[in-house]
Amino acid sequence: MDVFVSTYPFGTDDPQPRKLLDDSNFNVSYNELSRKLTVDELIERAGKTRVLLAGTENLMPFLEQNPNLEMISRVGIGLDGVPLNECKRRGIRVSFTPDAVTMAVVELTIGLMLSASRHVGNLDRRLRDGQWSRPSGRRLEHSVIGLFGFGRIGSRVAHILTSFQPKEILVHDSLDKSEEIQALRNHGLRIRQVEFEEMLTKSNLLSIHVPLYNKTRHRIGLEELKLMPSGSTLVNTARGGIVEEEALATALQNGILASAAIDVFELEPYKGPLTELENLIITPHIGSCSYDCRFRMELESAEEALRHLRGEPLQRKVSDREYEYQL
């Protein structure tokens, strides 16, 4: 087998990416189960493929069972499921589609910020249950907003927030972001880069935008949430595992946080106690689920797979920095 497409959906909104693969001279197979594959299912179906178009699967066990694998073309941006340095050791090329997903995640983030700050999800449920309840929420203009991570997505979130003119934006990132921050200041945004603890202690609204790797796994636990001001809101559209789910539940149940909105979970599909919390908005990892975004991700990943098989240079190789994150 030349190509196996494990991610789902693929070619559902627009058939062009699938047609591109089907019209090539290569042997292509797909995940036809209409859901995320388990590790064993992936090994069984794609154990001899040369190229894998991957979703969010944990690929380490797959690598160990497939000596034929030459390339992983990640349909998306997150690389926590791809053991990059093991791929490097084995000579497996890795590409991804980070630019395709950016604005779709940014828009969802802003939407969740607004919805959680104004209790939209909870009030929708109450009204359907016959309750006419009108509690006050917090406007973004009157909020100090913390951005944990200031890469492609975090910086674009800040750019969109220019229109809301929040009281201040506090950025924490492992890299110096002074140039990007100054550009936003030139547009009238009150924004600065701060240490991790200052971001937590001063932010009424905290939004997560870091990748998941060893240093960020469970970086936001109960002690960190307790540092935030009373009545705060947390939004996570990055990766499950950065925020401890048990700590988040405790914080929401005990008034440490007023509200939260999360699109990502440690184990997906998610089935757990967070679904019972009224002051939490949960969505099933839909950050990339806009028609244009999904199309670009699928098309770009398919194009990269075919470039590899034809011996052509890749255009979306994973950068050295991503490999360093996983050391």
pLDDT in tens, 189-217: 999 999 999 999 999 999 999 999 999 99
Q: Where are the alpha helices (DSSP H) in 47-138?
A: 60-65, 84-90, 98-117, 120-128
> Do residues 214 and 312 both lie within one domain?
no
Residue 103: closest CA among 231, 289, 283: 289
> Do residues 95 and 108 both lie within one domain?
no
At 9, which CATH number?
3.40.50.720
The pLDDT of residue 152 is 96
> Do residues 187 and 278 both lie within one domain?
yes
The pLDDT of residue 323 is 96
Tokens 């594959």 belong to residue: 37
Instruction: Name the pTM for this structure.
Output: 0.94
> Do residues 195 and 297 both lie within one domain?
no
Catalytic center residues: 239, 268, 285
pLDDT, mean over the chain: 97
Confidence of residue 271 (pLDDT cuts 50, 70, 90): very high
Q: Read off the pLDDT of residues 97-137 as tens digits, 9 standing for 90 and up.
A: 999 999 999 999 999 999 999 999 999 999 999 999 999 99
> Do residues 138 and 212 both lie within one domain?
yes
Residue 101: closest CA among 326, 318, 300: 300
The pLDDT of residue 207 is 99
- For the chain, counts of helices (H) and of strands (E): 13, 12
Q: Are 37 and 45 in contact (CB under 8 A)?
A: yes
